[in-house]
Amino acid sequence: MLFTDVIRTKRDGGALSDEQIQFFVDGLADESIPAEQVSALAMAVVLNSMTFDEAAKLTLAMASSGTVLRWQDLQLKGPVVDKHSTGGVGDKVSFMLAPIAAACGCHVPMISGRGLGHTGGTTDKAEAIPGYNTAPDFPTFRQVVKDVGCAIIGQTADLAPADRRLYAIRDVTATVESVPLITASILSKKIAAGLEALVMDVKVGTGAFMKTPERARKLAESIIATAAMAELKTHVLITDMNEVLGRTAGNALEIAEAVRYLQNDEREARLDTVVIGLCAEMLIAAGLETDRATAEQRCHDAVTSGRAAEIFGRMVAALGGPTDFMESSSKYLAVAPVVRPVHAAGYLRSIDTRGVGNAIIELGGGRHRVGEALDLSVGFSDFASIGTMLDAETPLAIVHAASEGDAVQAEKLLLDACEVGEDVPAVTPVIAEIIPGTA
């Protein structure tokens, strides 16, 4: 089979056959199809989409392009359940949610991604913790999930390798925004992880890949239907991404915020609602709770009791990070040499959150090219939420940069991305919709 014929079929709006999809997935995994042809097909899918059957076939083929994990032999005491986000800016939810869910009796084998387009990646953020191994061997991964209750790692070479390569190419070729490609990318990893249940955080808004509620709902429906076909019980929350989630955006800065949250020192309201809302849904999807209010209370208690913080510290140590990370995180996280506030005057009315993500890429915190090394120290902290009155005392954000020149450029990009005015803006709820799955 010639791969140019596969590209041509999709370019001209046709449906790919099962054989063509399998050929594509095999060529991704063994690298026999070069990056330029992969990106041409990805762009054709972005432009002409895929039928449900094509997307389902792509999902299953990518899921079985490497090892498929099984957990039964470990005789775990709780359900194997996970959460995945479609990607946002400042989305550090996984670092809080995984240990909270573990403290509530779940086992969470979380296989996360690197930065994608303008969005940050959980794997990159985890690597801000010195020594933390995001690519352990499977026996280590399984043991940490068993003993600690959760393990957040990156995609290893063995797990859904076809998605691993496609993901890295989509990151730098403007080919992320596609319902079938996002569905296949996320679910291939989750099916390969051998989960009993999954909760999806489908982001909507200026910092999401789905900009409108209609598009977000379409993606949610695609994920639920494809997961049901693979017998993976999946619930979805559609959550707001019209502003940075929490107070920080940038790899090490987000880890620091996650630590403060777990230590119950600073729980920014919108971030807290998303973390607790998703985690409560995990307990419901996993069959541990039936009532939402009870599930939410159980998640809150896991934070205030310190159990989630203790589990996070144990996970970090078990994956090679410092044994005293929770007590001494500031000693370990990289600090940018230039730190200064960005001021504006008036109400913060709206944010082009993609612009904020792009500013972080320009600071060196995200990639322009496949495999590029990141500066994990850079980004924004103290980010104001929509509706805040900005003045000389209250900055829009604090920029963390590698140089004065980078700080000036980031300040300009940030101000361009934010609308500030005299009228108080309407504030949208952070959880737009909860969709219980069908499987």
122: nearest Cα among 100, 102, 96, 95: 95
For residues 57 and 314, which CB has a smaller minimum distance to ligand URA in the complex?
Answer: 57
| Cβ at position 221, least distance to ligand URA in Å | 16
| Cβ at position 209, least distance to ligand URA in Å | 7
| Cβ at position 54, least distance to ligand URA in Å | 16
User: Can you list the alpha helix ranges (DSSP code H) found in 127-234?
Assistant: 138-147, 161-171, 179-192, 213-229
Q: Out of 170, 270, 298, 400, pick the active-site residue.
A: 170
Which residues pair with residue 389 across a beta bridge? Answer: 347
CA angle 304, 306, 310 (to 5 degrees): 155
User: Can you list the alpha helix ranges (DSSP code H) found in 172-289?
Assistant: 179-192, 213-229, 251-262, 269-285
| Cβ at position 47, least distance to ligand URA in Å | 16
For residues 42 and 151, which CB has a smaller minimum distance to ligand URA in the complex?
Answer: 42
| Cβ at position 92, least distance to ligand URA in Å | 15
CA angle 62, 67, 71 (to 5 degrees): 120
What's CA 238's distance to the chain center, in Å?
A: 14
Residue 343 known to be catalytic: no
User: Measured between alpha carbons, how far apart are the two ends of the chain, in Å?
Assistant: 36
Q: Out of 84, 203, 233, 314, pick the active-site residue.
A: 84
Residue 381 known to be catalytic: no
Among 44, 89, 93, 116, interactor with ligand URA by CB under 6 A: 116
Q: Out of 185, 188, 234, 248, pick the active-site residue.
A: 185
User: Can you list the alpha helix ranges (DSSP code H) found in 67-112?
Assistant: 93-103
302: nearest Cα among 109, 94, 80, 102: 102
| Cβ at position 176, least distance to ligand URA in Å | 6
Q: What is the spatial distance between Cα 121 and Cα 115, in angstroms, rounded to a whole number?
A: 4
Cβ-contact 203, 241 below 8 angstroms: yes
Does 185 bind ligand URA (CB under 6 A)? Our answer is: yes
Contacts of 220 (CB under 8 A, 6+ apart): 200, 202, 236, 238, 435
| Cβ at position 417, least distance to ligand URA in Å | 21
CB burial readout 213-247, b (16+ within 10 A) else e: eebbbebbbbbbbbbeebebbbbbbbbbbbbbbbb
For residues 20 and 119, which CB has a smaller minimum distance to ligand URA in the complex?
Answer: 119
Residue closest to ligand URA when measured from CB atoms: 185
For residues 222 and 242, which CB has a smaller minimum distance to ligand URA in the complex?
Answer: 222
Residue 170 known to be catalytic: yes
CA angle 140, 143, 145 (to 5 degrees): 110
Residue 53 known to be catalytic: no
Q: Which of residues 50-89 bind ligand URA (CB under 6 A)?
A: 86-87
Q: Out of 59, 85, 222, 377, pick the active-site residue.
A: 85
Q: Tell me the pairing of strands 346-351 and 81-85.
A: unpaired
For residues 254 and 296, which CB has a smaller minimum distance to ligand URA in the complex?
Answer: 254
Q: What is the spatial distance between Cα 283 and Cα 301, in angstroms, rounded to a whole number?
A: 14
Residue 234 known to be catalytic: no
For residues 87 and 90, which CB has a smaller minimum distance to ligand URA in the complex?
Answer: 87
CA angle 410, 414, 417 (to 5 degrees): 140
Q: Out of 122, 134, 188, 222, pick the active-site residue.
A: 122
| Among 27-35, 57-65, 176-184, 199-207, the segment contacting ligand URA (CB under 6 A) | 176-184
Residue 189 known to be catalytic: yes
Residue 83 known to be catalytic: yes
Q: Which of residues 205-264 bind ligand URA (CB under 6 A)?
A: none
Residue 73 known to be catalytic: no
| Cβ at position 81, least distance to ligand URA in Å | 17
Contacts of 214 (CB under 8 A, 6+ apart): none
Cβ-contact 63, 230 below 8 angstroms: yes
Residue 190 known to be catalytic: yes
For residues 170 and 247, which CB has a smaller minimum distance to ligand URA in the complex?
Answer: 170
Q: What is the spatial distance between Cα 296 and Cα 281, in angstroms, rounded to a whole number?
A: 9
| Among 15-23, 174-182, 241-249, 358-366, the segment contacting ligand URA (CB under 6 A) | 174-182
Tell me the number of residues near ligand URA by CB under 6 A. Answer: 10
Q: Given the rule CB under 6 A, which residues bind ligand URA?
A: 86-87, 113, 116, 167, 176, 181-182, 185-186
Hey, which residues are catalytic here?
82-85, 122, 170, 185, 189-190
